[in-house]
Structure 1
Amino acid sequence: MDSKFSGILEFVTAVDQGSFTRAAEILGITGSAVGKSIHKLEKRLGVQLFHRTTRRIVLTSEGEAWLISCRRILEELEHIETLLSTENAYPTGRIRIDLPTTFGRRYIFPILLDLAQQYPQLNLSVTFQDRAVDMISEGVDLVVRIGDLKDSTDLIAKSLGHQTLLVCASPSYLEKNGHPTHKEDLKNHHCLIGWRSQYKGHWFLKNSLGETEAYEINYTHEIPDGDALLSACTAGLGLAQLPSWLAFDALREGKIISILPEISGVEIPIHVLWQKRWHLQPKIRVVVDEITKFTHNKPELFFK
């Protein structure tokens, strides 16, 4: 009798190799055996996993969804075998990581490069984007996320600290245009905005009660990249709201100045998240530990 796991290895290998014939060569069986195994799998699932032509096989939408689950099963089995067969759990295998664009490039990616050098059997798949990915459906192992988190029973979150939002300007801009002293003064200044999915054209500022509000900005330039936004502010194009970790060096060097302290200083949490499993895989653990160590060793960037 076929088990619930029958056909999974043949299916994944066929996807990776692009044909039943090449999958058969890898697995050491006949092409017809691979085809029969996948046919039985489709019959058991009640869906078609491949569009078949005489030249190639292409995954259906159901096949793409099934592939994600199958890879997870095979990776879990591989890591459990590793845990059981070695005294010291060693980071191995592929880890899929999604990072905020500017923050990830500046601070997290260098950590990953060091880990890849330290652990040659650790394989990285890294993406940079400023949207919140669906970790489960998109097959992502670990993310760093800036902002409030949505409740999820499938994910584990660990705090990395927070970013403080500062309103900044270059000395040359302030000399030319004057210093704003109140929130209302922003309407008479050139303002720059970055990328923000839910609050485009807004800055997060404090009201008279010290509460955070999304304040609409009449902006001159829209620059959806953190490093480019900092460059524009430094060049004197206008006022910008910048996270503390991005503005830190420029503030220390006097290239920009923090202004409007009474309405600035909104804190936004930063977390690392990974999928909940019965054990913490070594590849996940080592990345989480190194990222956490880095942020806690930089209190001037991520803490008050």
Structure 2
Amino acid sequence: MADSKVNDILLFMSVAETGNFTTAGRAFGLSRSTAGKAVTRLEDRYGARLLNRTTRAVSLTEAGQRLYAQGEAIRVAIAAADARMEVSDGIPKGTLRIAAPDALGRRLVLPVIKKFQTTWPDIRFEISFSDTISRIVEDGFDLAIRVGVTTPDASLISRTLRMEKTLLCASPEYFTGRKVPKNIDQLSTHDLLQFSSVAKRQTWSLHDASSFLSTVSGRVSLRLDSAEGLREAALAGMGIALLPATLVKEELRAERLVQVLPDIDCGDVPIVAIYPHKKFLEPRVRRFIDALVADFSLGGANDVSQRVDQL
């Protein structure tokens, strides 16, 4: 049947994109075996091998490349039909799957979701709060919120939501018996807490009062793949952390943390929305991105600076 062939083609495309039958099947709520059978049916139907299979990876054959190109047209047509149907009554519908950093996601994204669902109650959300960088397309997300990521894969689009000021901070208890650093060089005698993931290790590049850029080379006593974890480590007196102002403003105001080297410019990091490159962006995705932009613009870099100065 025509509809089953379309499903097989979409499954085949997912296998080609993820390089993995298990992941491709999971994206459709199906098993690895079902994804494999879909590709086999297509190969039998067209009398050509579509994928080169090894124990480690799969790749497109020449015939597979031709079918994949045709499948893109099918996918665009389906997306266009979905988009037109969703806006036929002016009400976005469906499920919006979002990946966001744990700490900032809870503080910045959840309030936007609450407002959005008040306006559009037919939208359902599935959220993954994690500092691990997700493969957006392969893992089936419509949208990802990321900090510091400005050049995603060519198949993705990024939109800056706002620039976030970063601050050096530590707990007052950390400085018991220690000298508070007076300049960037003195950071080398302190315990530093830094972010680290599989893809990237955080480094600190700071500007002094003369705008001279220095790369800090202190001893890193702890690396974590969680901004929330770094904040908790700083609160526990384990060292000095460099964190987004939004994440620590309440602790600074309550004096559970103190700002270190307040006259030093620690730089800004972009908070960006990343989503798949599509000719027709689903209304629920487009409207939610617009909601993020509107909400985040209320707390841009200048506003953050002013709030921190008032702490």
TM-score by length of 2: 0.70
Partner SS for 1:106: helix
Residue 110 of structure 2 corresponds to residue 109 of structure 1: yes
State the match for 2:16 in structure 1: none
Cα offset, 1:257, TM superposition: 1.4
CA distance in 2, matches of 1:137, 1:10: 17
CA distance in 2, matches of 1:72, 1:292: 28
State the match for 1:156 in structure 2: 157
Superposed, 1:56-135 pairs within 5 Å as: 72=75, 76=79, 78-83=81-86, 86-88=88-90, 90-116=91-117, 119-135=120-136
Superposed, 1:167-206 pairs within 5 Å as: 167-197=168-198, 200=201, 202-206=203-207
Over 3 Å counting, the alpha-carbon distance change for 1:212 and 1:150 in structure 2 is: farther
State the match for 2:254 in structure 1: 253
CA distance in 1, matches of 2:259, 2:125: 38
> Does the CA-based 8 Å contact 1:167-1:260 persist in structure 2?
yes
Superposed, 1:9-28 pairs within 5 Å as: 9=7, 16=29
Superposed, 1:34-49 pairs within 5 Å as: 39-40=41-42, 43-44=45-46, 46-47=49-50
CA distance in 1, matches of 2:190, 2:214: 20
Cα offset, 1:168, TM superposition: 1.0
Over 3 Å counting, the alpha-carbon distance change for 1:38 and 1:236 in structure 2 is: closer
> Does the CA-based 8 Å contact 2:166-2:267 persist in structure 1?
yes
> Does the CA-based 8 Å contact 2:100-2:146 persist in structure 1?
yes
Q: Alignment identity in percent?
A: 20
Partner SS for 1:163: strand
Deviates more, 1:256-265 or 1:112-121: 112-121
> Does the CA-based 8 Å contact 2:164-2:301 persist in structure 1?
no
State the match for 1:7 in structure 2: 5
* CA distances 1:86-113 after superposition (whole Å, capped 9, x unpaired): 241x222233322122211322134335
CA distance in 1, matches of 2:126, 2:249: 29
Flag structure 1 segments of 5+ consecutive residues without an equivalent. Answer: 22-34, 50-59
Cα offset, 1:75, TM superposition: 5.4
State the match for 2:18 in structure 1: none
Partner SS for 2:104: helix
What CA RMSD, in Å, does the superposition of the two structures yield over aligned residues? 4.2
CA distance in 2, matches of 1:220, 1:20: 46
> How many equivalent residue pairs?
276
Flag structure 2 segments of 5+ consecutive residues without an equivalent. Answer: 12-24, 61-67, 306-311
CA distance in 2, matches of 1:17, 1:242: 40
Cα offset, 1:20, TM superposition: 11
Cα offset, 1:212, TM superposition: 5.2
Over 3 Å counting, the alpha-carbon distance change for 1:197 and 1:206 in structure 2 is: farther
CA distance in 2, matches of 1:252, 1:120: 36
> Which structure has the bigger radius of gyration?
1
Paired letter, 2:299: K
Over 3 Å counting, the alpha-carbon distance change for 1:283 and 1:62 in structure 2 is: farther
* CA distances 1:54-110 after superposition (whole Å, capped 9, x unpaired): xxxxxx9679xx8x97995585155134157x241x222233322122211322134
Over 3 Å counting, the alpha-carbon distance change for 1:212 and 1:303 in structure 2 is: farther
